[in-house]
Structure 1
Amino acid sequence: MTTYKNILVAIDLTEEAPQVLEKAKSLAQTHGAQLTLIHVVEPVGYAYGGDIPMDLTELQDQLDKAAHEQLAAYGDQYGISKDQQIVTVGRPESEIHRLAKEMNGDLVIVGSHGRKGFQLLLGSTANGVLHGSECDVLAVRIQQD
């Protein structure tokens, strides 16, 4: 069995994040691994198609600040030090791949809603991380209440 030493857990900062964090924390304890929290903030220009001629810097800064605060709260709750919390801006799949490679991650954990049919054809972050990762990927099934 593979022993993991460096686990990266990419969360989306929604109310579903604790389901992913519980699994990640358990695996890290089982393997004696270091756990790093990652959140990727997508550039505001992506949401607006980049076609609107306005300065979105302030909005991007607010999103970045809120992400740091939320990630810090999860870090405190799950005992993950500030130096193991990363907020970055970019496309989630490519940023997670980049960080996993730079940090020598041997496991990336992401949440998955297990969508089927048309939604699956549209793709998801979990699917994007899985296809192109150089290390193992664990997709934690999000349980709907």
Structure 2
Amino acid sequence: MTAPYRKVLVAIDCSDESADVLSRAAGVLEGIEGELHLIHVIEPLALAYGADVPMDVTDLQSGLVKQARDTALDYARQYRINEDRIHVELGSIEKTILDKADQMGADLIVVGSHTRSGLALLLGSTARGLVPGAHCDVLAVKMHKKA
């Protein structure tokens, strides 16, 4: 029998679906002593749009980080996650999540997974991108489109 998960890193995108992902992650730790960590990664605008961003986006990016942190704090309060276990970072989404999981010694990464079609299917999802590089288990919580 395998040991239960003790350190769970939950990757959220700060959308309404984040609550579903957090709920599933909290369920994994139900009844056992463990740590739930929350991460939200913001891709730097220069990375997302190429290095040729024609203006200084420092203030805009700082605003995005603050807004994401506030949203992450709201979710964290609902699940009694300590503030020192909330990570809002700038970087490549998959790499930053994997690096954080390694740094904290996570034994599970939980992330939402959407049904994709068209270009999104070709490009793949964060959940699919995490699996090959992860040094721990990855749980992809299937998100369904709300009618």
Verify same fold: TM over 0.5: yes
Please name the residue that 1:67 is paired with.
68
The answer (yes or no) to whether the contact 1:68–1:87 under 8 Å persists in 2 is yes
Q: TM-score, normalised by structure 1?
A: 0.93
The answer (yes or no) to whether the contact 1:113–1:142 under 8 Å persists in 2 is yes
Q: CA separation in 2, counterparts of 1:55 and 1:97?
A: 29
Q: SS at the partner of 1:4?
A: coil
Q: CA separation in 2, counterparts of 1:143 and 1:32?
A: 30
The 4+ residue runs of structure 1 with deviation greater than 6 A are none
How well do the aligned residues superpose, as a CA RMSD in angstroms?
1.4
Q: CA separation in 2, counterparts of 1:25 and 1:76?
A: 13
Post-superposition shift, 1:120?
A: 2.3
Please name the residue that 2:124 is paired with.
123
Please name the residue that 1:102 is paired with.
103
Q: CA separation in 2, counterparts of 1:6 and 1:65?
A: 26
Task: Quote the sequence identity (%).
Answer: 44
- Structure 1: segments with no counterpart, 5+ residues: none
The answer (yes or no) to whether the contact 2:115–2:144 under 8 Å persists in 1 is no
- Structure 2: segments with no counterpart, 5+ residues: none
Post-superposition shift, 1:75?
A: 0.5
Given residue 10 of structure 2, which amino acid in structure 1 is its aligned partner? V
